Structures are given as C-alpha cells and as structure tokens.
C-alpha cells in the first residue's frame, strides 16, 4: 500500500491574520483615563517676595472634611449649590479692583451683575477661592468640588463674552485653537475675558485626619 504524504499547512497567512487582528484591537480598544482637574501651577516666587494682604471678605472659603462633607464659609452646603454660591461671590463687585498697570487706582466692576454687597468680594480680580481638603477626603470628591468651581468661572466668562463679542467664551477658545493659535484678534478677545474673570483658586494645605 502506497504511503500518502500529509500536506503541510501554510502558517504564513495565519501570522498575517493574527498581526492584523492585533492592530485592530490596538486601534479600537478604549483605555480608561484617570479623572483630574486641569490646572496650571504657579511659578515659585522669589525669596524676597512679600505676599499681598487680602481682605477676608475677598476670600471664599471652601472646606471638605474627612467625611466628604462640604463646608462653605463655615456653613454646610450641598455640592449642587456650590457653583451658584461661587458665582455670587466672584460676581459681587462690591468695591474696586486691583490698581491699574500705570499705578492709578482700580476701577469698580462695571460688568458685574452681583448684589454689590460690602461684605463680599470687591472685584473679580480680587476674589480668591480657597479650597482646603482633609487628608482623608476622597479624591473623587475633591475633583468634583474643583469642577464646580471651574464651571462657575466658565458661566461668568460665557456671559461676558456673549455680551461683548456675541460669542460664548468656550466658542472663542475653540476658534482660537482651530486657527492654530495664530489669530491675534481672537486671542485678544480670549485674553480680555480671562482678565475680566481670572481664575483665582488657591489650594490650602490639607488638614490631617485623626
């Protein structure tokens, strides 16, 4: 009886298929991204730097305790109410702003729509939001608080940009990025809104849980 040869299997095509499948899964797989807050860290001040004195009424204190409870200006507050409270503080406009670059006194906020209370912030460029958490505070809670505060600034910037330029601030930012950051006319508008409502959020040293 004649011996029959067993045909060899061409593995070359299988390797190609496996390689293509690997590329497919690499391209289509979604990776989990850690949540966070986009913030630009300030530069280290010089040794002889003397910090300016800040009136207490120009500081908006936000505290997060170890139980992830929110205390704003010493009062218990729900996270959903933080944005509105921050807007009210930033937009109060109860006094004058910082001195001008030429040394002349600052001006009242003519674009603010707040209550102009004498017990709240004088001007958006003087309004400081101080956030202090506890070392036992959950990271997710801290991020959620920061997110609400950044949204407060976005609301105010959008309103002012709409009044001055007929576009939301977020639309101006997108238009500037789409122009490859070369359109100076859009940049001036973006800078104008950012200067009118500067994001001044300070992170105080966390307290220690006992």
Give residue 2's pLDDT: 55
pTM: 0.77
Given a contact cutoff of 8 angstroms between Cβ atoms, the answer to whether 144 and 70 are in contact is no
Q: Assess if residue 92 is contained within a domain.
A: yes
Query: What is the extent of the structural domain holding 194?
Result: 56-203
Say if residue 26's pLDDT is above 80. Answer: no
Please give the mean pLDDT across all residues of the chain: 86
Contact 156, 88 (CB under 8 A): no
Structure tokens at 124: 């958006």
Residue 13 lies in a domain: no
Mean local confidence (pLDDT), 181-188: 89
Q: What confidence tier does 71 reach under pLDDT thresholds 50, 70, 90?
A: very high
30 pLDDT more than 80: no
- pLDDT-based confidence at residue 204 (cuts at 50, 70, 90): confident
Is 160 within the bounds of a domain?
A: yes
Question: Average pLDDT for residues 90-119, to the nearest whole number?
Answer: 93
Residue 25 within a domain? no
Residue 161 lies in a domain: yes
pLDDT at 47: 72
Give the pLDDT band (50/70/90) at residue 65. very high
Give the number of domains in the chain.
Answer: 1
Question: Contact at 8 Å (CB) between 148 and 83?
Answer: yes
């Amino acid at each position: 009886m004649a011996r029959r040869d067993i045909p060899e299997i061409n593995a070359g095509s299988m390797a190609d298929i496996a390689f293509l499948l690997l590329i497919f899964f690499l391209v289509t797989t979604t990776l989990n991204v850690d949540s966070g807050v986009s913030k630009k860290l300030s530069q280290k001040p010089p040794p002889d730097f003397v910090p300016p004195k800040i009136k207490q009424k120009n500081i908006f204190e936000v505290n997060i305790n170890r139980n992830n409870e929110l205390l704003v200006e010493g009062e218990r507050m729900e996270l959903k109410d933080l944005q509105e409270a921050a807007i009210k503080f930033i937009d109060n406009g109860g006094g004058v702003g910082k001195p001008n670059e030429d040394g002349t006194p600052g001006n009242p906020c003519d674009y603010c729509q707040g209550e102009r209370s004498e017990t709240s912030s004088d001007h958006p460029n003087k309004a400081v939001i101080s956030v202090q958490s506890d070392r036992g505070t959950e990271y997710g809670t801290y991020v959620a608080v920061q997110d609400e505060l950044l949204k407060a600034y976005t609301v105010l910037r959008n309103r002012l940009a709409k009044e001055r330029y007929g576009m939301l601030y977020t639309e101006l930012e997108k238009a500037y990025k789409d122009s490859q950051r070369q359109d100076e006319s859009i940049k001036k508008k973006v800078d104008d809104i950012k200067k009118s409502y500067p994001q001044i959020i300070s992170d105080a040293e966390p307290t220690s849980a006992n």
